[in-house]
A and B are shown apart, each in its own frame.
Chain A
Amino acid sequence: MIHGQSAPDAAEFEELLAAERGHLFALAFSILGDAGYAEDAVQETAAAAWRGWATRTDPERTRAWLMAIGVHQALHRRRWLTRSFSALMRNAERAQIDQHLEADGRYIDLHRAYGRLSRQQRAVVSLHYMSGFTLTECAELMGCSAGAAASHLSRALSRLRKELQHE
């Protein structure tokens, strides 16, 4: 028994995490732009979720609850980035990431334009176009109003259009 929770609780938690890990990673990766940092964010998400596991208010919406924690972790990473020594090791990987995301040259311009969006803009674009969430769901996951999410998306698309026209 861990933290007053039963073994079935722990098993259920691990099962959820195993099922959602890939999605959490992709989401964090698309917001942060760095696979290593995304993995860190997933780990923090898992730790935070475990701590709140027994007290989550709506077990029927556990997946959304977990996603919201993941989005928050990705959106609010700053000191981790500034303090991390891991940047020393990641130049080579960054080149690999760029090559992968540019998909053999098909998305070079889009990749660069996407990278210039703000973190909130990337989050709403990812949630909407990669994960298929509605704007209302995006807002809930990002912890903001639906209007704010719509504004982020509108500005993101406007900026992408502008950047792609100028490329």
Chain B
Amino acid sequence: MNDRDDNDLASSLSAYLKGYSTYVRTAQPRPQGRFPVTSARHRRLLSSAVAVLVAAVIGVPLGVALLLHSGGTRSAVGVVQGPAEVSDLHMFSPTSGWAWGGGSDILHTTVGVQQWTIVPPPVGRFNVIEVAWVDALSARILASSGSTQNVGTYQLVGWSTDDGGATWTPGQSFTALDETVQSIYSATALDFVDRTHGWFFDTQVGTEGSPIFLFRTIDGGMHWSQVETTPARGTAAPGALPVSCAKYGMAFADSTTGWVAGGCVDGGPFFEVSHDGGATWRPQPLDCGTGCAVNAPQFTSPLDGDLVAANGTPLLFATTDGGRTWTQRAEPPATFVHFINADDGFALGLTGNNSSAVVWTTRDGGRSWQEASRTAGSGASATGPASDIDEIDFVNASLGWATPVDISSEPPNNVATPNTAPFTFWQTHDAGATWSLVTPTFLRGSTVDSGVVQGTLEAVGGAAPGTPRPLKGSITLRDSDGTVFTATAGSDGVFLVKVPIGTYAITGRSPLYDSGKADCPSSGPVTVTVGATIRVVVACSEK
């Protein structure tokens, strides 16, 4: 390509990019959990700042007082500054639950939302990309070797805990994604129906005809196997999820039956069901009209579940037979719907030009909805949540929490924006009619993030096979991310090295074997777990 072509490309880019400045939205989304932006944006963000301020003034003393009377938690080592944002809050009882503070800050509580222990899985340089709360003590997460941007293949490692995050166990790493089409709209989901059966769903939302990868574990995340692959183009294998349509998510009701949901540009819903753990799929009819898009269902018991669809207006469907049939309920007031059992549910959305946050309740399985509370979009008060609500979570028909939106993402390195505001929940004891602020205290749990590899470097075989001969030399341990650790074997061949937990390929070299030019392998990769001592033999085979 010559200079003229380069100039043409630059001119075309400039002209093309102007389109981003001149686009005017005409299709405004309906009220939903992720609120639309309105002309009242300025007033709303100011009210958010006020809400945070109120939390700081009122909540901190409250949190400290609660801490003094809480009796502490099992492995806490001190009060620390908590995360600026919290998502995925889910309480299994009024006192026990989980939340995600971003990064590796997994939060666990046994004393209620006013005090959390940060129990980070020792993922090292990996990034936590998905979390799944199984029960009050068990959690499963996935950590990725890649950046949070897209592109290419990366390694995933599942981590599990069954003791509230006091100890974490890594699973075997696996390759998760080899995107044939780059897209920023990656959609992932991690779903466990019990401590052992789980699925990881990976696709690209924004692309009609996006590739799909579905992995399954039947041992709590220690091992994952790919059970479904749909290419970005061409034809899917018989029984696989079809090419075309956008896929929004996945959910399983039990160890065998699950759904993948989405929407198609040709107007039909995308709603596929599997009855064999995700290996094969077939369409399930759902009467929601043309232009319908479907969200993944949620289950509150093996039989009772709900799903939200949209064809211009939100639609709610419910099942009482484990998903064999879905019956349409009354039009829900928002697309963020959260049921705690077959009857009791909550919806969160916005209404009006001032984007007031509104919570609705149902006591009859979504057949009717009642407005519980609303607050003004400007001038946030202490009587209810500000409009910047991200999620709601209820543990019973009256007690619940609203999580504010993450307005404080870290700035780039060259921008000095201190992030000092404490995180604040809104709490209700009367099904959302009235709310109060809770500023939690955070403690950091003690975790050990390393183990020991101990072994010997030996010469085996040769003209006179018999007792292996120890070799002095060097040992190399390479983890799945390519990070290298080294150790030295003495004249007795023994080496010992402390390394971060993970899976390592181990090789050794000795000046007494092939003049130090050849690698001697261990019998296979070793997985180092928290606090464990792994024993290996690195053998140099002599002819």
- Give the interface of A toward B (CB within 8 A): 2-3, 10, 14, 17-18, 22-23, 26-27, 29-30, 32-36, 39-40, 42-44, 46-52, 55-57, 65, 68-69, 71-73, 76, 78-97, 100-101, 103, 106-107, 110-111, 114-120, 125-126, 129-130, 140, 142-143, 157, 160-161, 164-165
User: Which chain B residue has the least Cβ–Cβ distance from A22?
Assistant: B21
The 3 A-B pairs of least Cβ separation, nearest first, read A52-B417, A143-B412, A47-B407
User: Which chain B residue has the least Cβ–Cβ distance from A129?
Assistant: B13
Q: Could you tell me the distance between the alpha carbons of A17 and B43 in the complex, rounded to whole angstroms?
A: 12
Q: Could you tell me the distance between the alpha carbons of A46 and B20 in the complex, rounded to whole angstroms?
A: 19
B256 adjacent to chain A (CB < 8 Å): no
With A34-B206, A87-B206, A103-B16 as given contacts, are A55 and B184 in contact (CB-CB < 8 Å)?
no
What is the 8 Å Cβ interface bit string for chain B, positions 307-321, against chain A (1 contact, 0 not)?
A: 011100000000000
Q: Pick the contact of B415: A72, A78, A90, A125 (CB < 8 A).
A: A72
Contact check, B33 vs A114: say whether CB atoms are below 8 A apart: no
B45 adjacent to chain A (CB < 8 Å): yes
User: Which chain A residue has the least Cβ–Cβ distance from B407?
Assistant: A47
Give every chain B residue within 8 A of A44 (Cβ-Cβ): 406-407, 409
Contact check, A161 vs B5: say whether CB atoms are below 8 A apart: yes
Give every chain A residue within 8 A of B483 (Cβ-Cβ): none
Q: Could you tell me the distance between the alpha carbons of A1 and B5 in the complex, rounded to whole angstroms?
A: 56
Give every chain A residue within 8 A of B406 (Cβ-Cβ): 44
Contact check, B19 vs A68: say whether CB atoms are below 8 A apart: no
Give every chain B residue within 8 A of A96 (Cβ-Cβ): 26-27
Give every chain A residue within 8 A of B303 (Cβ-Cβ): none
The stretch from B47-55, B487-495, B504-512 touching chain A is: B47-55
B187 adjacent to chain A (CB < 8 Å): yes
What are 23 pairs between A and B in contact, CB < 8 Å?
A2-B53, A17-B42, A22-B21, A27-B20, A34-B185, A36-B29, A39-B37, A47-B408, A48-B411, A69-B415, A72-B412, A72-B415, A80-B34, A82-B187, A85-B32, A87-B248, A92-B27, A92-B291, A96-B27, A103-B15, A129-B10, A129-B17, A161-B5
Q: Which of B170-225 contact A (CB under 8 A)?
A: 181-189, 205-206
Contact check, A46 vs B41: say whether CB atoms are below 8 A apart: yes
Give every chain B residue within 8 A of A83 (Cβ-Cβ): 34, 87
Give every chain A residue within 8 A of B44 (Cβ-Cβ): 43
Contact check, A126 vs B17: say whether CB atoms are below 8 A apart: yes
Q: Could you tell me the distance between the alpha carbons of A28 and B36 in the complex, rounded to whole angstroms?
A: 16
Give every chain A residue within 8 A of B50 (Cβ-Cβ): 2-3
Contact check, A120 vs B149: say whether CB atoms are below 8 A apart: yes
Q: Pick the contact of A79: B9, B14, B87 (CB < 8 A).
A: B87
Q: Pick the contact of A56: B33, B294, B417 (CB < 8 A).
A: B417
B237 adjacent to chain A (CB < 8 Å): no
User: Which chain B residue has the least Cβ–Cβ distance from A116?
Assistant: B182
Task: Tell me the smallest distance from the CB of B283 to a CB of chain A, in Å.
Answer: 18
Task: Tell me the smallest distance from the CB of A164 to a CB of chain B, in Å.
Answer: 7
Contact check, A78 vs B148: say whether CB atoms are below 8 A apart: yes
Contact check, B27 vs A160: say whether CB atoms are below 8 A apart: no
Give every chain A residue within 8 A of B182 (Cβ-Cβ): 116-118
User: Which chain A residue has the least Cβ–Cβ distance from B336?
Assistant: A85
Give every chain B residue within 8 A of A93 (Cβ-Cβ): 25-27
Give every chain A residue within 8 A of B16 (Cβ-Cβ): 101, 103, 107, 110-111, 114
Task: Tell me the smallest distance from the CB of A120 to a CB of chain B, in Å.
Answer: 7
Q: Could you tell me the distance between the alpha carbons of A101 and B45 in the complex, rounded to whole angstroms?
A: 30
Give every chain A residue within 8 A of B248 (Cβ-Cβ): 87-88
Give every chain A residue within 8 A of B151 (Cβ-Cβ): 118
A-B contacts besides A22-B21, A116-B181, 20 pairs, CB < 8 Å: A40-B34, A46-B41, A46-B42, A47-B408, A50-B45, A52-B416, A68-B415, A69-B411, A82-B187, A88-B335, A89-B29, A91-B265, A93-B25, A96-B26, A100-B23, A110-B16, A118-B150, A157-B6, A161-B5, A165-B1
